[in-house]
Amino acid sequence: MSVRIARHHAALLALTFATVLTTICVAPAFAGTPVRVGVYDNPPFLTVDGNDVTGIIPDIIDEVALEHDWDVEYVVGTWPEQLENLDSGSITVVGPVAWTSPRAELYAFSSVTVLGNWGVLTALPDRTKDYSEFEDLEGARIAALRKDVFLDGPGGLRFFLENAGITVEIVEFESYDDALEATAAGDTDLGLINRLANATLGTEYGLGSTSMLINPISTRFAGPANSPEILQALSEIDSTLLRLQADPESAYYASIDRHFGTYGATQTGWPSWALPTFLGSVGLVVLLATLAIAQRFLVRSRTQDLDESLDRFRALFLAIPDAIFTLDTEGRISDFKPAIDWEPAIPPEEFLGRRLSELPLPGTLREQFDSAVSSTAQSGVSRTVPYQLANPMPDGPIRHHEGRFSKASEEELLLIIRDVTEKQLSDQAERDRAIELERAVAKRTDDLIKANLELAAASQAKSVFLANMSHELRTPLNSVIGFSSIMLKGLAGEISDEQRRQLVMINTSGTHLLSLVNDVLDLTRVESGRVEPQAQTVDLDELIAEAAGTIESRARAKGISLTVESHDLGTVSTDRRMLLQILINLLNNAVKYTSAGSIKVGAECHDTSAKISVTDTGVGMSAEQIPHAFQDFYQLSQPETAKSSGFGLGLPISQRLAEMLGGTITVTSVLDSGSTFTVTIPPLNDGEAS
């Protein structure tokens, strides 16, 4: 019986050896996508023993590799070293990595959570009850993994302790093993570890858990940011992990059970997997042979596609107008693509194979190039060096260039040189135009300032002249009007009819001229700012009645009905004399331009603000005339009865007075139908003047 078992063992070993040999021979034809996976000791996620890597993470990676044709290479290191690998982009993915907002800005993450996790504080079993609240940690020594999410960052232990004002001593280690070993030896009071790792390592070191939980997080896979290949790898991990998590019988749950210790009972006799392994090996040989044939056709098809892609890439590459140099990390030029529309300052045969620092370039430029090569090779961050150079050297015209250094791989840099002379000249021309425009604007501004000063001086001179002239005219005009009135009344003796007719003409003309002088004086006083509004409480009903009374006789004489439509208006705070003059001017205007019909005065008073409107049925204005209504000395076409009255100053004076009171005057009018002038006056406080 033992002989048959030995023969059976021998046959099984031979078949297994043949299967392995077949796999080794065929495997190169099936090389998949190369993926470098960073691993660090973090059981049960990862257990690293030399180059032997086991745990939940490798089990998931095996499933992803099988499903998406990955060629996996494990890169072993500590947790801080794996973070450095992420920063440098030397690995494709690493897991598990706790997702946090700051890390999400640095790295690309998978979307699916591997396992939820949180931090726990462990201590020797007889000390666990001593630490139930954060205040109990005062003065404690705590062992922690360097750069651990449960120690640093938002929600980490250090964050809470600092904000609570609790002082502890943090001793940082490169691995959880070292941290827990220090706690078990009594070198620290507590150890900070994630709860999943604690399920195995805590028991191994004989430590117990306190009741404090730190920073619950989602553990995922992470990779370097800004890389389509990395995003593709993370997407493939997500798709596989979603499938595994949806199946309770999948390798995902089996791995969790296995690495948390629920499996592993001792077995006797032939293991249960022997027969499936034997049958699977036979099937594998057949499958590999079939796939090898299919792979030849697939490789041939993919090779053709690759050749076509290379041709397209080559065409695009040659269409780039810039010069492109391939360098090693010491700046030695290994290859060169010329620019399309300009020649390099140095012939290619003189720089290929030489370092940039060895070329016959100006010393400062060689130093800039050396510095750019060094910094780009070390940091991977692109750097641009602008410079000027005679082309061709040394006696050609000066050309402007930009040299951009980028890292293509760990051993290779690219230098892309662009001739930006035309752009520089264009930019300089733009700058020159801007400077010239600025000068023109400054000169124009100076001219405008001078013109404004001259206008102000002319306006002041005009105001002084008009004021003086008006004062000089008023005295003789008053005499003419006064004496002619005396003669018309017969106080100087009897006069004939002809003399009376002529005296009436003298008196009327004198009165007319005096009215013009008074209007000019009013306009001059307003423009010179010598008229200051004085706030007082004004009864609107009384004010409107007084204004209407001044023109009532004139309106009656022309057969015009005058109606005040508003009553019990209340009071408004404003300058009474100015508002009265505005209203009288508007009413005079209405009488002057109305031959027959009516004049209506309406008013509203809200929150001590006044709105008064004067509506007539006179000649009205056309749309073209309305914009000129408030211009000085502008007069509309007048009815025969108004031909000799007014000088076109009533409305301009009214508008200026309204503005001084902080208000406005608006007009609506229809030709041959009449006009409505509306003055709106807000409350005026003492000292307000516009």
| pLDDT tens-digit readout, 662-675 | 899 999 999 988 99
pLDDT digits (tens, 9 = 90+) for 619-629: 999 888 888 88
Query: Do 10 and 67 belong to one domain?
Result: no
CB atoms within 10 A of CB 207: 24
pLDDT at 116: 78
pLDDT at 679: 94
The DSSP bridge pattern shows strands 536-539 and 560-564 to be unpaired
Range with lowest mean pLDDT among 141-155, 385-399, 589-603? 385-399
Query: Do 576 and 625 belong to one domain?
Result: yes
Note whether residue 339 is domain-resident.
Answer: yes
Is 570 or 315 the better-scoring residue by pLDDT?
A: 570
What CATH number corresponds to the domain at position 331?
3.30.450.20
What CATH number corresponds to the domain at position 578?
3.30.565.10
Per DSSP, the three-state class of 622 is coil
> What is the spatial distance between Cα 24 and Cα 529, in angstroms, rounded to a whole number?
105
How does DSSP assign 230-267, residue by residue?
Answer: HHHHHHHHHHHHHHHHT-TTSHHHHHHHHHTTS-----
Note whether residue 68 is domain-resident.
Answer: yes
What CATH number corresponds to the domain at position 134?
3.40.190.290
The 3-state DSSP composition of the chain as helix, strand, coil percent (nearest 5) reads 50, 25, 25
**pLDDT averaged over every residue in the chain:** 80
pLDDT at 293: 58
Note whether residue 570 is domain-resident.
Answer: yes
Do 517 and 473 form a contact (C-beta atoms < 8 A)?
Answer: yes
Do 183 and 121 form a contact (C-beta atoms < 8 A)?
Answer: no
The angle formed by the CA atoms of residues 310, 313 and 318, to the nearest 5 degrees, is 125
Query: Do 474 and 484 belong to one domain?
Result: yes
* Domain of 143, in residue numbers: 31-259
Query: Do 361 and 398 belong to one domain?
Result: yes
> What is the spatial distance between Cα 29 and Cα 296, in angstroms, rounded to a whole number?
8
| List of E strands, 567-606 | 571-574, 597-606
Length of the chain: 690
Percent of the chain at pLDDT exceeding 70: 78
Query: Do 211 and 151 belong to one domain?
Result: yes
* Matching residue, tokens 């973070």: 83
pLDDT digits (tens, 9 = 90+) for 28-72: 444 688 999 999 988 888 888 887 899 999 999 999 999 999 999
pLDDT at 317: 62
> What is the spatial distance between Cα 601 and Cα 550, in angstroms, rounded to a whole number?
14
Note whether residue 526 is domain-resident.
Answer: no
- What letters, b where the CB count within 10 A reaches 16 and e where it falls short, cover 45-71? bbbbeeeebbbbbbbbbebbbeebebe
Query: Do 412 and 448 belong to one domain?
Result: no
15, containing H or E segment: helix 2-26
Note whether residue 524 is domain-resident.
Answer: no
pLDDT at 289: 53
> What is the spatial distance between Cα 219 and Cα 228, in angstroms, rounded to a whole number?
22
Query: Do 86 and 165 belong to one domain?
Result: yes
pTM attached to this predicted model:
0.34
pLDDT at 233: 92
Query: Do 106 and 195 belong to one domain?
Result: yes
Do 30 and 297 form a contact (C-beta atoms < 8 A)?
Answer: no
Query: Do 378 and 514 belong to one domain?
Result: no
Task: Give the residue from 384, 419, 454 where a domain finishes.
Answer: 419
Half-sphere exposure in the Cβ direction for 497 (13 Å, CA): 0
* Matching residue, tokens 């004399």: 577
Note whether residue 268 is domain-resident.
Answer: no
225, containing H or E segment: none
Note whether residue 235 is domain-resident.
Answer: yes
447 pLDDT higher than 60: yes
Query: Do 14 and 85 belong to one domain?
Result: no
Which of 41-45, 89-93, 289-293, 485-489 has the highest mean predicted lDDT (pLDDT)? 89-93
> What is the spatial distance between Cα 57 and Cα 676, in angstroms, rounded to a whole number?
88
Note whether residue 542 is domain-resident.
Answer: yes
Query: Do 224 and 304 belong to one domain?
Result: no
Task: Give the residue from 419, 440, 465 where a domain finishes.
Answer: 419
Q: How far is CA 381 from the centre of its chain?
A: 25
Sequence-distant (6+) residues with CB within 8 A of 108 are 222, 223, 224, 225, 226, 227, 230, 231, 234
Per DSSP, the three-state class of 388 is strand
Query: What number is the average pLDDT over the span 262-290?
Result: 42
The number of domains in the chain is 5
How does DSSP assign 454-500, residue by residue?
Answer: HHHHHHHHHHHHHHHHHHHHHHHHHHHHHHHHHHHTTTT----HHHH
Can the peptide bond before residue 96 be classed as cis, meaning omega within 30 degrees of 0?
Answer: yes
Task: Give the residue from 387, 419, 451 where a domain finishes.
Answer: 419
Query: Do 629 and 655 belong to one domain?
Result: yes
